[in-house]
Amino acid sequence: MTKIYEATVTAPVNIAVIKYWGKRDSALILPTNSSLSVTLSQDHLSTRTTIRASPEFSTDRLWLNGIEEDISASKRLVNSITTARKLRAALEKKQRDDGVASEDIVLLSEWSIHVCSENNFPTAAGLASSASGYAALVSALGALFQLPQSTSDLSRVARVGSGSACRSMFGGFVAWRAGESNDGSDSFAVQVADRHHWPDLQALILIVSEKKKTISSTAGMQTTVETSDLFAERVRNVVPKRMAAMEKAIAERDFGTFAEITMRDSNQFHAVCLDTYPPISYMNDVSRSIASIVHAFNTARGRAAAAYTYDAGPNAVIYALKDDMRDLAELVTYCFPRGSTILSEDFYADPFNMFGSADRIGQVPTDPDVAQLATATGQFPAGSVRRIIHTEVGDGPCVLPALQSLLNESGMPKRAKE
């Protein structure tokens, strides 16, 4: 039997606490400012990707969640794959230069590949999967091609696929250095702290129902760069200070500072979207109500005990320490009741067993102060929040054993939708 050249990896989602918004180079995806994110656990949110290279494949093919996509239609996909192939070709050349016998050099860079990718969370969740998707793609190519480059080097390859994907190449707390050079050589991700640095930090993701589709972040951010009179001030004077303060807060596990900067930066990102012409708004009334509830929760606690952040959509991600998360989870599940058609355990999975039993989800909170806040706030229409994902800080991409492959013997998806 012939040897199979294949790699299967999983890669995580990351949620920025200092937002990436605006490119200085759209082709290379070079950002106008540095950003910083928290990598979330792959237990709840991850993309698994298997890539096989074979001289028998006639062309590159890609399946996303069981459906075949046209690779050539995506310039970003082509960019990432081509860039990785060049690195493999350079490695093969080096092997030749080092005198490795040509029969011992596998010319993977010249073979076509089959890529099969699946998310462990429903696309319906409305969570951007491009970051975990491109991080998985590039990690799988790195493993398949046995590339010697560092993770930061490979993060540049993920970056040309999807900017924020470079941050999903690491676990824990990750900074994307904007860099200054025109070739993008100094625009890559670095790990600020690993997942074990701050074990008590948890995240609650609230999937908010949405009527109409919103403008894509790719289109939106460039309109902001071109039309917002306030954007340059954010890039020049605000973000650099926040990056330094946020890295310090993380190093010192100073949640109060982490929380305030996170909320301020989310608000400012949406503020420059509103200052864009025509204006862009991603948050809706439910999103804003969640933010108000978080501020009310913090006021009741007498400290910044929770921090919301919103990306290019209405969904909220709330960071809090383990000790505050139970009260927070009780508060939001009370204020935002599940839709009548959704089971409690689908609405809120309770992975840390905070509720004990599913029928306690959505009841009046146990803590008296939080109960008072909950009843004072009242309940929103059932289904305003469709799903709540409770998770924590997680690791970067992992290589899985061969039996976890998504491809069968002939290199086709094991699970394919027609």
CB 237 within 8 Å of CB 348: no
Residue linked to tokens 């699970």: 415
Instruction: Identify the residue among 74, 79, 209, 284 touching a second copy (CB under 8 A).
Output: 284
267 lines the binding site for a second copy (CB under 8 A): yes
CB count within 10 Å of CB 226 equals 11
301 lines the binding site for a second copy (CB under 8 A): no
Instruction: Identify the residue among 64, 78, 90, 271 touching a second copy (CB under 8 A).
Output: 271
Total chain residues near a second copy (CB under 8 A): 26
Chain residues 244-263 in contact with a second copy, contact rule CB under 8 A = 260, 263
Chain residues 363-382 in contact with a second copy, contact rule CB under 8 A = none
- Min. distance of Cβ 233 from a second copy in angstroms? 4
**Beta 61-64 vs 30-31: how paired, if at all?**
unpaired
At 317, the amino acid letter reads: V
Binding string, residues 224-243; x marks residues near a second copy by CB under 8 A? -----xx--xx--xx-----
Binding string, residues 40-59; x marks residues near a second copy by CB under 8 A? --------------------
At 52, the amino acid letter reads: R
- Min. distance of Cβ 274 from a second copy in angstroms? 4
* Distance (Å, whole) CA 328 – CA 319: 10
Q: Where are the alpha helices (DSSP H) in 238-359?
A: 239-251, 255-274, 285-301, 322-335, 344-347
264 lines the binding site for a second copy (CB under 8 A): yes
The CA angle 291-195-131, to the nearest 5 degrees, is: 65
Instruction: Identify the residue among 150, 180, 277, 366 touching a second copy (CB under 8 A).
Output: 277
The CA angle 39-173-151, to the nearest 5 degrees, is: 80
Closest CA to 157 of 235, 247, 90, 85: 85
Q: Is the peptide bond before 337 cis (omega within 30 degrees of 0)?
A: no
Instruction: Identify the residue among 25, 285, 345, 369 touching a second copy (CB under 8 A).
Output: 285
Residue 237 or 340 having the CB closest to a second copy = 237
Chain residues 97-126 in contact with a second copy, contact rule CB under 8 A = none
150 lines the binding site for a second copy (CB under 8 A): no
* Distance (Å, whole) CA 205 – CA 319: 9
Instruction: Identify the residue among 120, 150, 181, 281 touching a second copy (CB under 8 A).
Output: 281
- Min. distance of Cβ 228 from a second copy in angstroms? 8
Instruction: Identify the residue among 55, 240, 279, 381 touching a second copy (CB under 8 A).
Output: 279
Instruction: Identify the residue among 275, 339, 360, 398 touching a second copy (CB under 8 A).
Output: 275
**What angle, 0 to 180 degrees and rounded to 10, lies between the N-to-C axes of helices 130-144 and 75-97?**
20
Query: Which range touches a second copy (CB under 8 A), out of 267-275, 353-361, 391-399, 400-408?
Result: 267-275
- Min. distance of Cβ 131 from a second copy in angstroms? 25
Phi, psi of 173, rounded to the nearest 5 degrees: -115, 125
Phi, psi of 175, rounded to the nearest 5 degrees: -105, 140
* Distance (Å, whole) CA 406 – CA 217: 30
* Distance (Å, whole) CA 55 – CA 57: 6
Enumerate binding residues for a second copy (CB under 8 A): 229-230, 233-234, 237-238, 260, 263-264, 267-268, 270-272, 274-279, 281, 284-285, 288, 291, 295
